[in-house]
Structure 1
Amino acid sequence: MKPFHFKKFSIQQSKEVFRVGTDGVLLGALASIKGCKTILEVGTGTGLISMMLAQRNKEVKILGIDINENAVHLAKENFENTPFHQRLEVVLKDFKFFTATEKIDLIVSNPPYFEINSSEKDDIARQQKELTFENLISKSASLLSHKGILSVIIPAESEDQFIAACKRHGLSLHHKVIIHGILKSKPQRLILEFGFEEREIKTTELTVEKLPRVYTDEYLELTKDFHQFQK
């Protein structure tokens, strides 16, 4: 497969690993990283989100984990070829059994969100076979620092389910980004951020495209440090 080129790094891709997509780009550009020293990406895939976060925050150290051995090898290759390689690491690990010696400032994930079905295409990355929302949330709650953040991108229709699961584990919604795939369409995705502190919820909206393959000015502005195309 052809590599995907950003301004400051390129991403090698593989048929065995979930490819670069808009969801990952959005989370990499929008996840809250101010003040973060340590980040864990759950289900790193190609390493896209980790590399974007490393570009945005020059102090942070990032660990990506994945249950897919092919993804780990690919992410390692991609990490080594970035200007931020010294702050990036990837390991083969099932998040359900992950342990850390110190609490983590930010856990970020573009998690599997389809119910288990008969499709074999990217089944581990797309279907909740190995990592359910409940698994992701409960484990994250045990690993986050007192002021730590869980940042995810999920389908809009999964909002109530995800928020309810977070509440069960003491995590409150801090920020919601409502994402429209195309102008005037129904919300397609949500970026949700949770923490242990209760705060007034900040809600924003973002539209990706005006027309198919014609990006909005707000999306181009958001990704101007990454995408090579311009307004």
Structure 2
Amino acid sequence: MAKGFTFKQFHINDHGCGMPVSTDGVLLGAWVTLSPSGPILDIGTGSGLLALMAAQRTAKQGNPITAIEIDNGAALAAQRNVTDSPWTGRIKIAHQTVQAWANQQPAGSVGTIVCNPPYFNHGEQADSQARATARHTDTLPHHELLAAIRHLLSPTGSASLILPVYEGEQLIEAARVHQLYCQRLCKVKTTERKPPSRLLIELGTNPSSCQSERLVIHQGGQYSKGFIALTKAFYLKM
């Protein structure tokens, strides 16, 4: 059996990646609003999970997708996963920083941005350099991420991210400095009794009221109806 994680329409081999396939990534890939046309950008693609989920969801319209990855091992893994997928012709892996990539692109040229960003600002880093890069903000501080998003995002586009609650609230506040505003927010709880552990955040360039949602992953000892409805197009046993 192939190593990694098999979804309904593609397989992910995350060997060599700093962060393996996670519930966070699958939630974001299923939740993000995808533009009906125009380029899609996956920042920090890792194994290529979010790019492949976006490709599956936009199979009919065929949006071009760029997946950026700074770590060499992860970029190679993402390329293998894309090559083995049904959408190899639509996804381009860019092995560079988003800061450098953004400087090469016209302003407002991307309709959808999706990012599962690093969020540890301090503390002991992982022994693996790849894992440290994926988890810590040293190579992608949030203010630089937001500046890149603001430059790239089209006036009608949106950028979606997932972060722990505290870091997510901080990012929403910081986004205002870059004239990016929360237009959709989902508070994710592992169970009904626990407080939210993650925020799914959608940013746009137009100030407007933020649509608030919530999602509980487990109810009554099994996956909730909301979680199943959101992810059933991807998980094999949903």
TM-score (norm 1): 0.94
Report the counterpart of residue 160 of structure 1 in structure 2: 169
Q: Which residue of 2 aligns with 1:224?
A: 232
User: Match for 1:107: what amino acid?
Assistant: I
Residue 178 in structure 1 maps to residue 187 in structure 2: yes
State the distance in 1 between where 2:164 and 2:37 align: 26
Give per-residue Cα distances to partners, 1:185-218, cap 9 Å, x unaligned.
Answer: 1000011111111222111110112267x31121
Q: Which moved more, 1:38-47 or 1:120-129?
A: 120-129
State the Cα distance separating 1:127 from its structure 2 match: 0.8
Give secondary structure in 2 for the equivalent of 1:86.
Answer: coil
In 1, are the aligned partners of 2:162 and 2:168 still within 8 Å (CA)? no
- Paired residue for 2:112, among 103, 106, 111? 106
Q: Which residue of 1 aligns with 2:84?
A: 81
Deviates more, 1:214-223 or 1:75-84: 214-223
- What's the counterpart of residue 3 of structure 1? 4
What is the aligned partner in structure 1 of residue 39 from structure 2?
38
Number of residue-to-residue matches in the alignment: 229
Q: What's 1:130 paired with?
A: 139
Write out per-residue CA displacement over residues 40-62 of structure 1, whole angstroms, 9 at most, x where no aligned residue. 11100000011001101122111
Aligned pair 1:13/2:14, yes or no?
Answer: yes
Equivalent position amino acid for 1:90 in 2: I
1:159: Cα distance to partner?
3.1
* Deviation per residue, 1:42-87 (Å, 9 max, x gap): 1000000110011011221110011101111100000011111111
Q: Does residue 69 of structure 1 match 2:47?
A: no
Tell me how far 1:15 sits from its aligned partner.
4.3
**Residues of 2 paired with 1:115 and 1:196: CA distance?**
26
Gaps of at least 5 residues in structure 2 are: none
Shift of 1:117: 2.3
**Displacement of 1:183 after TM fit?**
2.5
Contact 2:188 2:216 in 1 (8 A): yes
**Conserved? CA contact 2:188–2:217, under 8 Å:** yes
> Could you say if the C-alpha distance between residues 211 and 68 of structure 1 is closer, same or farther in structure 2, counting changes exceeding 3 Å?
farther
Give a deviation string over 1:110-149, Cα, whole Å, max 9, x none: 0000123222251110111100111110111011111121
Q: Following the alignment from structure 2 to structure 1, what is the Cα–Cα distance between the partners of residues 35 and 157?
A: 11
Q: Distance in 1 between matches of 2:224 and 2:138?
A: 35
Residue 97 in 1 paired to residue 105 in 2? no
Once residues 19 and 220 of structure 2 are traced to their aligned partners in structure 1, the CA distance between those partners, rounded to angstroms, is 25
Is the 2:185–2:212 Cα contact (8 Å) retained in structure 1? Answer: yes
Q: Does structure 2 conserve the Cα–Cα contact (< 8 Å) formed by 1:36 and 1:106? A: no
Deviations 1:90-122 (A, max 9, x none): 011111221224611111100000123222251
- How high is the sequence identity, in percent, across the aligned residues? 30
RMSD: 1.6
| Cα 1:34/1:140, change in 2 over 3 Å | closer
Give the Cα separation in 1 of the matches to 2:188 and 2:210: 16
Provide the rounded CA distance (Å) in 1 between the counterparts of 2:237 and 2:4. Answer: 16
Runs of 4+ in 1 over 3 A off after TM superposition: none
Residues 183 and 211 of structure 1 are in contact (CA less than 8 Å); yes or no, is this contact kept in structure 2? no
- Normalising by structure 2, report the TM-score: 0.91
CA distance in 2, matches of 1:78, 1:180: 30
